Amino acid sequence: MGYDFEGYKRLTHRFRQGWASEDEHEHVGRFRVLNVRHQAPSDHEAEYGSGGQSFITVRAPRAVSADIVAQVLRDNFATGCRCEHDCCGHTSSYPGTPVRVKQRRWVVPVQLRQNI
């Protein structure tokens, strides 16, 4: 099930999340998503637009510091829409603090929210 993605460290923060690709970035290396586990929201949470939470297990490249890996993972799994109005229905993702579970293996909790 895994897939690879190229990790980039965000060097500038001039733009909001929907336009983060316009900032300057530095290539860090190739990361691999090993597993994604999704936890559905409770009925109460779903009423307020929660899409639940995902736990993404990732293998980081060799010889990259823990601080940089954590930053790359947070930046990679954060998403937001560019809509000019509320209640568009798009899902935004908000990553929590990545947790190192082995030398190169990390788990990233990602909260999902719908704009309703």
| Digit-coded pLDDT (tens) for 4-56 | 999 999 999 898 777 888 899 999 999 999 999 999 988 888 777 788 899 99
Residue 87 tokens, joined? 């209640």
Q: Kindly indicate the confidence band of residue 1, based on its pLDDT and cuts at 50, 70 and 90.
A: low
Indicate the SS3 state at residue 98. coil
- Let me know: does 115 contact 90? Beta carbons within 8 Å: yes
Strand blocks (E) in 1-116: 3-10, 25-39, 50-59, 91-95, 99-100, 105-114
Q: Kindly indicate the confidence band of residue 96, based on its pLDDT and cuts at 50, 70 and 90.
A: very high
d(CA 73, CA 8): 9
d(CA 85, CA 88): 7
pLDDT of residue 111: 93
Closest CA to 110 of 98, 34, 60, 43: 98
pLDDT of residue 50: 82
Question: Which pTM value belongs to this model?
Answer: 0.87
d(CA 41, CA 30): 31
Mean pLDDT value of segment 98-111: 97
Which of 10-14, 82-86, 89-93 is the most confident on average? Answer: 10-14
Mean pLDDT, the chain, whole residue set: 91
Distances from the Cα of 114 to the Cαs of 19, 28, 41, in angstroms?
Answer: 19, 31, 12
